[in-house]
Amino acid sequence: MAILLLALLVPATLCSRSGPPSSKHGHGGHAKPASPVVPVAPQAAALVRATCNSTAYYDVCVSALAADPSSTTADVRGLSAIAVSVAAANASGAAQAAAALANGTAPLAAAAAGDGTVQALLRACAGKYGDARDALAAAKESMGQQDYDLATVHVSAGAEYPQVCKALFRRQRPGAYPAELAAREEALNKLCSVALDIIALLTSSPSPSNNS
């Protein structure tokens, strides 16, 4: 009986000396399955960086793509879809901002409150940004069908609609173009440029990373 107890105690003593008890199961083998996952993030980040290196706005590109968790597993085709989605979200937000300024519900709407022309221009801007949002949504559908030429046309249109808004202000109310819309227009222009540059990668030199 004493021999049996000794046989049971010795392995337990050896296990206790092998390291601190990191889990209730008594062995650290349970941490090993996580090790294959570690290289995934650097690889995904490397693809994002390599893809963004081909765009005109590297920092904007990296920021936009990295903000979407799906970019960690996306190929170049997936990254292009993310870029278009981010641009569409920007356009949608700009449409809402313009409408809020026109309706007097935005914090900076006081300047437009007594000017019917400015309010009309802001409503026109809301419509143009809505058109940009719809064009970008159509671009994403075209990309789903791998029609990258048509997607390029839609993204280009998405970038051009806000410029109509700025042109209307320049003609009718110079100097009254809201700073918020100017910032959103610039951001959307850069996001559309990034999306176009990534789409161009899909049409110029397909690689294994582009295949799903």
Residue 160 pLDDT level (bands cut at 50, 70, 90): very high
Q: What is the pTM of this model?
A: 0.73
Query: Do the beta carbons of residue 101 and residue 108 sit within 8 Å?
Result: yes
Domain regions of the chain by residue span: 80-204
Query: Do the beta carbons of residue 66 and residue 48 sit within 8 Å?
Result: yes
Residue 153 pLDDT level (bands cut at 50, 70, 90): very high
Residue 83 pLDDT level (bands cut at 50, 70, 90): very high
Task: Tokens 């765009």: give the residue.
Answer: 55
Give the lowest-confidence range in 1-5, 50-54, 100-104, 172-176: 1-5
Quick one: pLDDT at residue 105?
65
The SS3 assignment for 5 reads helix
Contacts of 192 (CB under 8 A, 6+ apart): 87, 136, 155, 156, 158, 159
Residue 102 pLDDT level (bands cut at 50, 70, 90): confident
Please compute the mean of the pLDDT values over residues 39-68 and round it to a whole number: 85
Quick one: pLDDT at residue 87?
97
Spatial separation of the C-alpha atoms in residues 194 and 1, rounded to whole Å = 76
Spatial separation of the C-alpha atoms in residues 87 and 85, rounded to whole Å = 5
- Which CATH architecture describes the domain 80-204? Up-down Bundle (1.20)
Count of CB atoms situated within 10 Å of the CB of 179: 8
